[in-house]
Amino acid sequence: MDGEKKTALIAIANGVEETEFVAVFDVLKRAGIEVTVASANVGGELKVQTVNGLVLEASKNIDDALNATYDVIVLPGGHDNAVTLGENQKLVDFIRKQRDEGRWNAAVCAAPALVLGKNGLLEGEKATTYPAEPYEKLIPDKSNINDRVVVSNKLITSRSPGTSLEWGLEIVAQLFDASK
């Protein structure tokens, strides 16, 4: 996809951590990446209420968004958001397909544990997650659990709202191959 416009899908649902969503959305847009924001709310509702009550409106529902191909699938955290994303089998299957086809996935806070870990998508990967035992226990390889941002194969994980900008910048760096 070199030379082509880079694309990202950000999947969100009620309870999304607004800092993690807004920080990564902003960084990706400023890098010139075409961003699709999709609501995974049950019932297809596009309005999404964040963990602190801010109301966002997604551009698509998740079912419609899964009809495209993306350079990266981005999963912000927030406990309730991550639970909803992790229980959406179509999204989980799409993330698995993304991985199997050698494209990027990125998750922060509760999402590495509750979306990827709970669905067996962290086997063979180094990862980090929100620094609390209920989340950390779902990370199979804990060798990088305390790192702020972890890149493993085609997976980028991060800890918390406080690491969201670093996480977003790492996504951009990997998409545009910062070594060039």
Residue of 109, 115, 116, 138 marked active site: 109
Whether residue 149 contacts residue 5, with contact meaning beta carbons closer than 8 Å, is answered with no
Whether residue 99 contacts residue 83, with contact meaning beta carbons closer than 8 Å, is answered with no
Question: Of how many residues is the chain composed?
Answer: 180
- For residue 136, indicate whether it is catalytic: no
| DSSP-assigned letters across all residues of 101-163 | TT-EEEEETTHIIIIIGGGTTTTT-B----SSHHHHTT-SB-TTTT-SEEEETTEEEE-SGGG
Q: Hey, which residues are catalytic here?
A: 109
